[in-house]
Amino acid sequence: MGSLAAVFFDMDGLLVDTEPIWTVAEHEAAARLGGTFTPAMKRAMIGHGIDTAVPIMVTMLGQPLSAVEETAQFLLRRSAELFREPGVIVAQPGALELLTALHERGVPTALVSSSFRNLMDPVLEIVGRDLFAVTVAGDEVHRRKPDPEPYLSAAAHLGVDPCACIVLEDSLSGASAGIAAGCATIMVPSM
C-alpha cells in the first residue's frame, strides 16, 4: 500500500458505544414477541444490518418470519428515540482523539455504517459531523455489510482507491466488508 488515502470508521461499537442502546430496544422487541432477549441472540446479531439481524432474532425466538417487518420497524423507531436521549451516545475510548489527529493531518475520514441515517445523524451531532469528509448510512446503499458496497461507495465519494484506505471495524461482518472492498482492515473487537 502506498500513501494513506483515507480512513473509514464503522459506527456502532467501533466509534461509539451504541450496543447498550440497541440492547434496550432488542429486549423490548423480544418482550413484545413474548420472549426473552438472550446473550446468544446478541452475539448472533452483532455486525448485521437490521434487515438480517431481525430475522435472526425472530427465528431464535421461535416466531414466524411474518413478525420480521413489524419488529424491524419497532426497533428502528425505538432505537431512534433512545439515540436522541441526552448523554446516551458515548464515544469509545480513543476514538475522538484518533479522528481529531487524522483531521489535523488532512487525512480524509468516512463514517460507514449499516445503521440507517436517522440513527447516524444523532451520533454525528455528538461526535462532530465536521470530522468526516463522507458519511454512508445503511439505508443509502443497495447492499449492507458484509457486502463491500458501503466501503466502495465511501471510496468513490472521496475519489480514492479503496486499496489505499484503512477500515476500522469491530465486527466480523464489517471486517469482511472492508477486506472484500480491498481495504487494509483492522478489527477492534468491542464485545
Which positions are annotated as active-site residues? 10, 12
Chain-centre distance of CA 114, in angstroms?
Answer: 5
Q: How distant, in Å, are the alpha carbons of 36, 181, 183 from that of 135?
A: 34, 16, 17
To 5 degrees, how large is the angle CA 71–CA 52–CA 22? 55
Beta strands in 47-157 (DSSP E): 109-112, 134-136
Burial zone of 181 (CB within 10 Å; 0-12 exposed, 13-18 middle, 19+ buried): buried
Residue in the block written with cell 448510512: 137
Q: How distant, in Å, are the alpha carbons of 57, 80, 94, 174, 190 from that of 22?
A: 13, 10, 22, 17, 14
Q: Which helix (H) or strand (E) holds 185?
A: strand 184-187
Q: Which helix (H) or strand (E) holds 167?
A: strand 165-169
